[in-house]
Structure 1
Amino acid sequence: MLTLCLSATGALAAGHERSPAATETTPTPSASAFDDGPYLRYTSDRIEARWVCDGKPVERSFPALRWPVVVPAQCGHAEPISVRAPAEAETEVSPQGVERIAALSDVHGQYELMVQLLQSNGIVDRKLRWRYGRGHLVIAGDVFDRGPKVNQALWLLYGLEQQARAAGGAVHLLLGNHEVMVLANDLRYVNEGYQRNAGLLGRSYVELYGPDTVLGRWLRSKSVIGQVNDLLFVHGGIAASYFESGLSRAQINQRYRDSLGTPKAVWQHDPALLPLYNGKTSPIWYRGYFIDPALTQDQVDAIAARLGVGRIVVGHTSHKRIGSYFDGRVIAIDSSIKNGQYGELLLIERGKFSRGTPEGKRLPLTAGEPLSD
């Protein structure tokens, strides 16, 4: 029998700010319909499942007497889902001695391109099963918004996490500003098709990822900042002001989990939450490595030293390709996958850094180009 103790993590309301320095642009809504789902919800003894197939809602339920519960494919995501027990908050660990690491960010619903990168670079096989062994895959935020296959991307990562763990590896999904925005009901960038499908299911879009849902509970267990070997991964970046709170990384991650969904009207007046969500220097929004002309090599070196890491790996700020900045201290991995045309995967294998292309080529990691705007 499944017993749940789910508590809200704050009111769900719009209001997360747009970063003043952001290069975000409002997407052109897609008018085309698409199959969607599953959306899975925990109840006391069952898993409730919903899909939109051929423009019509489909509902089924499955007994949850023991884990996992297998939910067969209906439409939308093409594979069965092996549903695990409700996720608990991640334990703060910094794995060391990992010989193979792959990282990408800002997928933004471009499922096919993400799959191509993972397959071509040996992370998953033709059947989308984990084949990276003891390697670690890091997703540095922003799976949500813009594209039409966010749900498929999330379910793929949900399944790969379990498969990687069984193989001695790991999948680390970090939250970016778009995950935070959606969980706070800021839906400015949600593909129009998802809004329509949510209406067909009789739910708001944010309710489809509520704390009583499988993916919603899983997302709320995740971190914003993670470390593997001497690499720190974070969606936006770490500004010097990050250290003013005096909190550890574990405490910062937990403060994010506890406050997800807090509306701007609350966090902008709360000195404990403002550093987590403000659009200039917070870890999910910061772009200073690329747009602050006053930021020096010594300052970035000092930030890394205080973090106790050799390099800081970030997404969020779009580039044409993966590149290194500040003499390799910062690596930018948002390679504009969101456009659905091209993207790259960062690979660190036995100490060698390279860029994996959609065709599986291994290109050298080189100095990044300055942003054009």
Structure 2
Amino acid sequence: MVLVFALFGASSAASSHSRVETPSRVIAVGDLHGDFEAWRSILLASGLADSEGEWTGGDAVLVQMGDIADRGPDSLKIIRDLQRLEKTAPVSGGRVIVLLGNHEAMNVIGDLRYVHPGEYVAFTDKRSKRRREATWRANREAIEAAYAALDPPLDADQAKARWFAETPLGMLEHRRAWKPGGELGLWAAQLPAIVRISGVLFAHGGLSIERSTESIDAINARIRAAMEPGEAIDRSVIEDPLGPLWYRGNLLRPAADDMRMPIEEELAQILAHFGARRLVVAHTPSLKGITESAGGRLIRIDTGISRYYGGPQSYLELIGTRAIAHTRDEGGEWQSRELAAASLEAAQ
């Protein structure tokens, strides 16, 4: 049990766009999970940035597929990089789009199971120790009561020791930033769950037939509303296993799901509904590299990029109707592979 007590501020969130006009090139990058070195390596290899991290991608569009947070220590550094590039890329006609991943949503709602200790360290400042002490003093009675209610109960001294152990320096600042209405909470709230670019859909987890009956704008708006501050907000949509943050059914089907329509039939209906020819997903790691299925209509680009998973660095490049998978091999060399051409019949 972790008890976090802090004062939180709020500000307004910006809107995001779900449809992007045809760019010359799209680069899609999967789950990064706090690995800043891998992120910068991919930026350089893709030609989107130089060795200093400055935008060199011209009018290309970068789509980062979500799950920047958790499992690694440098989530904040990657977020700051993306926020900076989001401002500088348009100078050259480029654009940066970050999708909402389930791990960003988890941080917002306080599910901290996968937060790496280094992520808390990134939020520390010279006042962190005094801030933690002050928070303890201000909330001592409530904290002691909560720990006294455990089985077995903890006495006052044990409660203090336990709370300090479970509240590392930087954790209060991390929660203040990520909670609904906090700086990163608001940043995450304005990220789209789904975008469509040149007839290609991008969603972190996937798209189920049950949750694909509305427009992209309507789906994004529903998820955005669930990320807003407020005690009475219904946040169930961002934990929905059939929603775009969590769904894996475009790739995997447990035996218990044998009543669902076949994967390819579901995909065909989803693509037709949104007027798209491909769906690109992340979320479900494939440590052997980027994979495709359904005749190139589905592309899976989470290759376990971060050190936590130990998979290969990779990115997907879309040029017109072409799709090229780029993967860094064990020797550090980048290899490229053309993927199957998806049918254009459904594209609008």
Give the distance between the partners of 1:263 and 1:331, measured in 2 at CA.
Answer: 37
Give the distance between the partners of 1:209 and 1:115, measured in 2 at CA.
Answer: 24
Pairwise CA distance, 1:256: 1.1
User: How far does the alpha carbon of each residue in 1:296-349 deviate from its partner, in whole angstroms, 9 at most, with x for none?
Assistant: 423321121012111111000110211111121111010111325522100012
Change (3 A) 1:43 1:224: closer
1:108 pairs with 13, 26, 33, which one?
A: 33
Question: Match of 1:325, as an amino acid?
Answer: S
Give the distance between the partners of 1:254 and 1:173, measured in 2 at CA.
Answer: 16
Change (3 A) 1:122 1:182: same
1:228 pairs with 197, 203, 212, which one?
A: 197
Give the distance between the partners of 2:237 and 2:85, measured in 1 at CA.
Answer: 32
User: How far does the alpha carbon of each residue in 1:44-70 deviate from its partner, in whole angstroms, 9 at most, with x for none?
Assistant: 9xxxxxxxxxxxxxxxxxxxxxxxxxx
Structure 2 counterpart of 1:94: 19
1:353 pairs with 296, 319, 323, which one?
A: 323
Change (3 A) 1:276 1:216: closer
Q: Secondary structure at the match of 1:356?
A: strand
Pairwise CA distance, 1:101: 0.4
Change (3 A) 1:117 1:284: same
Greater Cα radius of gyration, structure 1 or 2: 2
Give the distance between the partners of 1:202 and 1:341, measured in 2 at CA.
Answer: 29
How do 1:77-92 residues align onto structure 2 when only pairs under 5 Å count? 88-90=14-16, 92=17
1:259 counterpart = 2:185: no
Question: Match of 2:339, as an amino acid?
Answer: L
Question: Match of 2:304, as an amino acid?
Answer: S
Give the distance between the partners of 1:323 and 1:202, measured in 2 at CA.
Answer: 37
1:303 pairs with 270, 275, 283, which one?
A: 270
2:217 pairs with 250, 253, 256, which one?
A: 250
Question: RMSD in angstroms over aligned alpha carbons?
Answer: 3.0
Structure 2 counterpart of 1:370: none
Structure 1 counterpart of 2:134: none
Q: Secondary structure at the match of 1:242?
A: coil
User: How far does the alpha carbon of each residue in 1:47-97 deviate from its partner, in whole angstroms, 9 at most, with x for none?
Assistant: xxxxxxxxxxxxxxxxxxxxxxxxxxxxxxxxxxxxxxx75122x341222
1:148 pairs with 73, 96, 99, which one?
A: 73
Q: Secondary structure at the match of 1:133?
A: coil
Structure 2 counterpart of 1:139: 64
1:290 pairs with 251, 265, 268, which one?
A: 251
User: How far does the alpha carbon of each residue in 1:146-178 deviate from its partner, in whole angstroms, 9 at most, with x for none?
Assistant: 001111110111111111122111111010100
Contact 2:109 2:180 in 1 (8 A): no
Structure 1 counterpart of 2:164: none
Percent of residue pairs identical: 30
* TM-score, length of structure 2 as denominator length: 0.72
Change (3 A) 1:290 1:264: farther
Change (3 A) 1:164 1:239: same
Q: Identify which range, 220-229 or 358-367, moves more after superposition.
A: 358-367
Q: Which runs of 5+ in 2 are unaligned?
A: 125-167, 342-348
Contact 2:33 2:72 in 1 (8 A): yes
Structure 2 counterpart of 1:331: 299
Change (3 A) 1:210 1:296: closer
Question: Match of 2:26, as an amino acid?
Answer: I
* TM-score, length of structure 1 as denominator length: 0.68
Structure 2 counterpart of 1:319: 286
User: How far does the alpha carbon of each residue in 1:22-43 deviate from its partner, in whole angstroms, 9 at most, with x for none?
Assistant: xxxxxxxxxxxxxxxxxxx999
Q: Secondary structure at the match of 2:210?
A: helix
Name the structure where helix makes up a greater proportion of residues: 2
Pairwise CA distance, 1:220: 2.1
Question: Match of 1:162, as an amino acid?
Answer: K
How do 1:173-192 residues align onto structure 2 when only pairs under 5 Å count? 173-192=98-117
Pairwise CA distance, 1:362: 2.1
Contact 1:109 1:148 in 2 (8 A): yes
Q: Secondary structure at the match of 1:353?
A: strand
Contact 1:185 1:261 in 2 (8 A): no
Structure 2 counterpart of 1:118: 43
Structure 1 counterpart of 2:312: 342
Contact 1:323 1:366 in 2 (8 A): no
Q: Secondary structure at the match of 1:337?
A: coil
Question: Match of 1:146, as an amino acid?
Answer: R
Contact 1:99 1:351 in 2 (8 A): no
Contact 1:184 1:261 in 2 (8 A): no
2:210 pairs with 234, 241, 247, which one?
A: 241
